[in-house]
Amino acid sequence: MAVTALGRGSYEVVGESDDAYLVDLPAGRCTCPDHRFRDERCKHVRRVAIEITAGRVPAPDQIAVDCERCGETMFTEHTAFEPYLCPSHELSVGDMVYDRETGQRLLVVGLSDRRADEVSISAARGTVADHYSNREYDADDPVVSVVYPDSFELTQHGPAPDSLTVYSFPRPRLTVTPS
């Protein structure tokens, strides 16, 4: 039997004779006659459970996504934030990332679990979530601190320290792939 996750806890199960049934796992229901006429878990519901345990299809609270760096498919919680990255490519300090809005390259200098509406940019400009350029992003997105390496200035007196200001971005606004 071939099992395909359709999202929101629904799975399509295709048997050897090409008969396809729909399993709603959270409800424990299946569209096959066996399930409807007898009050027990049919082989399709059981098969979906086996496939989830084996890690071959995502659980109801998970989605299948590809790691932005290696392309490996993984199952992650519905609530995970982009950029989707597998455990060996998780975002870390020192990584080069790109702003999805401008394409500009950024260097990660800090990671945090704090929400965009909790981190303030300045008294006058409010929080990261309030900033006009972040309207498309959610208030509960975690914040990542970055600098623009290309804005670094070397003057005749040496490096200009003010040229490397730290900025805060909602994590989903960042990507590891240059556009």
Among 49, 63, 86, 109, binds Zn ion (CB under 5 A): 86
Among 30, 57, 108, 128, binds Zn ion (CB under 5 A): 30
Size of the site for Zn ion (CB under 5 A): 11
CB 74 within 8 A of CB 64: yes
DSSP secondary structure, 76-134, as one string: EETT--SSP--GGG---TT-EEEETTT--EEEEEEEEEEETTTSEEETTTEETTTSGGG
How far apart are alpha carbons 96 and 150 in whole angstroms? 12
Q: Which structure tokens are listed for 162?
A: 């003010």
Find the shortest distance in angstroms from Cβ 71 to Zn ion. Answer: 7
Rule CB under 5 A: say whether 49 interacts with Zn ion. Answer: no
Rule CB under 5 A: say whether 65 interacts with Zn ion. Answer: no
Among 5, 25, 42, 143, binds Zn ion (CB under 5 A): 42
113-132: contacts with Zn ion (CB under 5 A): none
Rule CB under 5 A: say whether 46 interacts with Zn ion. Answer: no
Rule CB under 5 A: say whether 74 interacts with Zn ion. Answer: no
Site for Zn ion, rule CB under 5 A:
21, 30, 32, 35, 42, 44, 67, 69-70, 86, 89
